Structure 1
């Protein structure tokens, strides 16, 4: 009987020691919070904003090309660099002017992104954020026409960056004149890398 009395208090002590105390749990949660707080500022959100802007421009250009083929009318995409906006016009009379009765829509760039001239362009140093040999002007803004067969009116380069404007945040969307095909590029600080 004496042995039983000794085992019962030991079992009570073991039961009391099982699990974590509330204080231990709070200390661990505070440590996890501090470590997570140090990791968040190191994330590069600017690169994601530049990528989102690049995808937006590319999507607008591809949509304009498809629309030109489907509706059998020229579609003009104009780039308003100051307000970070793209204007899409279904140009029924093919004069690169937004006439009354022609359908027009706008698409802004993503927040935290803008059109910008990089220090190092793709192949050569660009003179403008939106450049091409035969761009027309729509309401004073440089514009590209997609023709009824899907071709573009000129080769086009559209340079974008984040609001930070760091070299590694620069992106490029290129349009090939003959086919109207769009390609995306990312600048890594020394060279342009294709992303398609």
Structure 2
């Protein structure tokens, strides 16, 4: 049940996020659908490749594809005035997608009996992979490579699931809210990871 719920939440959130960015970049209708779908399913495809899960299962998610297409259509048909605040809404949807897919990826890795390190990698790839592909296709610097704390929250969710602190049921939904909130707070309060520049002589 939890797997299905997180898959649905992540798919809709990232499909909407991809569609919003595509419209901001003035993509045509076909481009909006492509970017939305790639954002929604790209992270899962990358995860499956790296942890050894069957990649063909991507094509068995007919219901999720339908929900992604419906979500993209709804966003495309919304009045332009409602989309003028895309940055705020896009950020919220991206945060929800990151949290939901990070948890989903971690759950899959645990189900496959993989070690904690692999669970963390699966969480990060599933949570941020679609966003990375989206930003690259849109000609943007991926959020995961910026100073804002992004993928770290996915890694934290993966760690907590990997060590067994969050296992099933209600606790996973608490983790969803916590991860989403931390991502949004890192934006609001400008939390940054340390950086270091190399000075050339």
Would you say same fold, with TM above 0.5?
A: no
Determine which structure has greater relative contact order: mean sequence separation of CA pairs < 8 Å that are 6+ residues apart, divided by chain length.
Answer: 2
Relative to total residues, which structure has the larger strand share, 1 or 2? 1
TM-score, normalisation: structure 1: 0.30
